[in-house]
Structure formats: structure tokens, C-alpha cells
Amino acid sequence: MSGNVVMQVDHLTKSFRVHQQKANSLKQFIAARGRNRYDEFIAVDDVSFDVREGEVFGVIGQNGSGKSTLLKCMAGILQPNKGAVHVHRRMGALLELGAGFHPELTGAENVYLNASILGMSRKDIALRFDDIVEFSGIPAFIDQPVKTYSSGMYVRLAFAVAINVDPQLLIVDEILAVGDVSFQQRCLEKFVEFRNDGRTIILVTHDMNSVKNMCDRAVWLEHGKITGSGDPGELVDAYTEHMLGQNNRRHDGSIRRGSGEIQVTKVELLVNGSSEPVKRCRTGDSVVFRLHYESSKSIPQPVVAIEIESLAGALVTSPNTRDVGMVPQNMSGNGIVEVTIPRLDLLPGTFDLHTSVTDFNRAHNYDHLQTALRFDVMAGKPYETGGVVTLRPEWNLQ
């Protein structure tokens, strides 16, 4: 990261008129003296920040917080009522599926149209055309009208065009939520390639793990205002706590949500066959995570799961009982679920364990205990210091 500012958002304010009742006839229009009553809705309220060259900058917030309006102002699609956006690099934007596409034109014609809108010359488009089509993965449909495309085909082509205009600054709004797994993987690889090339990405997403793992800095929008900014890990934790509600925070710092018919009341860490719970272990130890639960009624076919995250928010593992075919017909009363790891391959660091109990389809959440247990891993065997887990390499020097 060079530290050069590539975009400045300076006291940006954007509001919209929300009409209470429109005149449906000339009589009503005259009676209202030509005026329609409306309220002023402020979508973005005096927002200021800068984005530096080479960083991945995240924008988080719940639906209706003003994220999309902010991005449209940043991309020049909307004009702010007050303030300004200063862009110092060539920019590409992925804000809506197929934005700028004409439904009656073919995919190939829309490539030329969309790339021209993004600032490419016809000669440059011709040079990159094959790469665009190849990346989109829809060569068989490139000469068909885009009105016949599925939403997935739209986003493939839109993304392929946007990344091939060679932007130094890329704005992305939830684009990875659409498309199949292989396409999402190619998008992620392209993001990594962009970042390694020193380009700048502004990412809006509801996937908090992506923010923690990909972003260098982030801002949190709430009702159009910036509620917090800075380190993505700390910001995501604060945002998650806010969304879950303060009333769900327990005295030990964990946060609970769910319908509550069954709850994990306590989690213990047992090491190397000992029955005495501890809060630390070593790389290579045999460990047991013991989950105590209570249920107020019989729960049919419940699925119990754990997640282990590093303190920085990287997800290490998330096993559940359904994946291994251990789903009881029901659970009731009090009991214990034990998760045994014969050889813990976590490297030294601090980790959080979260628990959940859901229905068989993993759709209904009976209980989710965020940070049910925080534990430390000390150096053990093998002795390694870099990364999150060891792959137990065997060295051979000749």
C-alpha cells in the first residue's frame, strides 16, 4: 500500500423526496396548487473518508443504511445534494447486474457498449474481447440478445467487462453473491490478482468473513451516518454485537441468539485425557470440547455444530453432526455433546469457539452462542510459528 489517496469522500450528503400522496387528477393538482406533499429522506448524511491506493476498503451496514446510495454517488451514478467525491484513478464499478446493458442487443454488442461507457476505445475493446468472453464463460450465448440471459449470465458478462477495462479502482456491491461456485472462485482469484498488482477495491458485502479476511480498512454505515471506522476485525465484532442486540450479551462476554427451545449452557476444554477443564492447550494435544445443553422440550432431529475462528476472524473449521450422520431422532432434557480432536493442529494463538443447534435443514436456529469459549494454543509439536494450522511437513535434506 503506497498510502496515496485514490478517492476522497468529502462531507457527502444525498437525500430523496418521498411523496406522501401524488395528485391523480387535474382537479387534485389544482386543489393542491400544483404542489405535492413530500418528506425529505436523507440516505447519506455528511459522510467523509478517504480510500488509499492498493487497499481493499470495506463498507458494512444493514439494509437501508445507505450503502448502495453511497456507492452510486462514488461511481458518479447519483449526484450528491452536498459535498463531493474526488476520484484520482480510472474506476470500474459493479453496482447492479447488467447496469448499462441494453436488453435488445446481443452480448457481444453490449460488451462494446458497456466497455465504451467505462472509458475504453473501440480498438482496446477489440483487443480484449476474447478475454472478456472467455472469462464470462458464456461464449455459446454471446451472440444472443441479453434479454434472454439469466441473472447469472448477466453478472458473468458484467463482471468480465468491468475487470477488463483495466481499472485502478474497482467498486463492487455484493457481486460475489451471484453465480456458481467456479465463477465465484474466479472472481476471488481476480480480486487477489488486483490486490497483488497494487490496485484498489471498495467492497460492500453482508459477508462479514469476507470483510475480516479481505479488507484492510472498513467503515460502518448506520442510518446514513458513519458509526465506526478502522480495523475490519474490530468493526465487524462491534457491528455483529449491535445487530444481535445488547440484551443477548451474557456476563462472560458471549452473545446468544435463537428461538431458545434448546441451549448450550457451557463449553469446556479438556486436554490429554484430563477431566479438569482448562483454557489453554498445545499444538499436537488431544483435546475434547464438551458442550453442556438444556432443552425445555423435545427437539426433533437437531444438528449440533461448532466453529473455531482465529482472533483475527479467520474461520478454521466448522464441523456439524449432520455431516457425519450423527443426528438423533430427538434431544430433550439435559445432556452433553463431546467433540474430540485426537491431534490438534492449531498453531500458537488465541481462538474463539462458537456453538449452534439448528433443525435438520439448518434453516431454523434454536441456539447460537457466539464466543462460547475463548482458548489459547501454546507451542507444541511440531514447532511452527507462522500461519494458523500445521500441515505436519516432513523435511528431507540431501
Contact status, residue 38 vs residue 19, Cβ threshold 8 Å: yes
User: Per-residue pLDDT tens for 89-131?
Assistant: 767 666 655 556 788 999 999 899 888 877 788 898 999 999 8
Domains and CATH numbers, the chain: 5-9+45-242 (3.40.50.300), 255-378 (2.70.50.60)
The answer on pLDDT for 29 being more than 50 is: yes
Q: In the chain, how many H helices and how many E strands?
A: 8, 18
pLDDT at 99: 59
What is the spatial distance between Cα 373 and Cα 356, in angstroms, rounded to a whole number? 13
DSSP string, 85-104: EEE-S-EEEE-STTTT--TT
Q: Which helix (H) or strand (E) covers residue 134, if one does?
A: helix 122-136
Grid cell in block for residue 315: 474461520
User: Per-residue pLDDT tens for 314-343?
Assistant: 889 999 999 999 999 999 999 999 999 999
**Higher pLDDT among residues 253 and 354, named by residue:** 354
pLDDT at 281: 96
Which has the closest alpha carbon to 44: 65, 58, 59, 60?
65
Q: Is 190 exposed, middle or buried (0-12, 13-18, 19+ CB in 10 A)?
A: middle
Handedness of CA 181, 193, 213, 379 (dihedral sign): positive
Mean pLDDT confidence for 19-40? 63
User: Per-residue pLDDT tens for 200-257?
Assistant: 888 888 778 778 878 889 999 999 999 999 988 888 878 877 776 655 556 566 788 8
CA 217: distance to chain centroid?
A: 14
What is the spatial distance between Cα 131 and Cα 120, in angstroms, rounded to a whole number? 15
Beta-sheet pairing, 365-378 with 280-282: parallel
Strand order in the sheet with 38-52: 38-52, 5-19, 82-87
Contact status, residue 6 vs residue 89, Cβ threshold 8 Å: yes
The answer on pLDDT for 307 being more than 50 is: yes
What is the spatial distance between Cα 71 and Cα 278, in angstroms, rounded to a whole number? 47
The answer on pLDDT for 275 being more than 90 is: yes
Q: How much is the mean pLDDT over the chain?
A: 85
The answer on pLDDT for 75 being more than 70 is: yes
* Whether this model's pTM surpasses 0.75: no
Grid cell in block for residue 313: 476472524
Mean pLDDT confidence for 50-71? 89
Grid cell in block for residue 90: 480510472
pLDDT at 314: 83
Share of the chain above pLDDT 90, in %: 46
Contact status, residue 111 vs residue 135, Cβ threshold 8 Å: no
Mean pLDDT confidence for 34-54? 83
The answer on pLDDT for 164 being more than 90 is: no
Confidence grade of residue 372 (pLDDT, cut at 50, 70, 90): very high
What is the spatial distance between Cα 279 and Cα 373, in angstroms, rounded to a whole number? 8
Contact status, residue 8 vs residue 200, Cβ threshold 8 Å: no
pLDDT at 347: 94
Confidence grade of residue 175 (pLDDT, cut at 50, 70, 90): low
Confidence grade of residue 9 (pLDDT, cut at 50, 70, 90): very high
The answer on pLDDT for 1 being more than 50 is: no
Give the 3-state secondary structure of residue 65.
coil
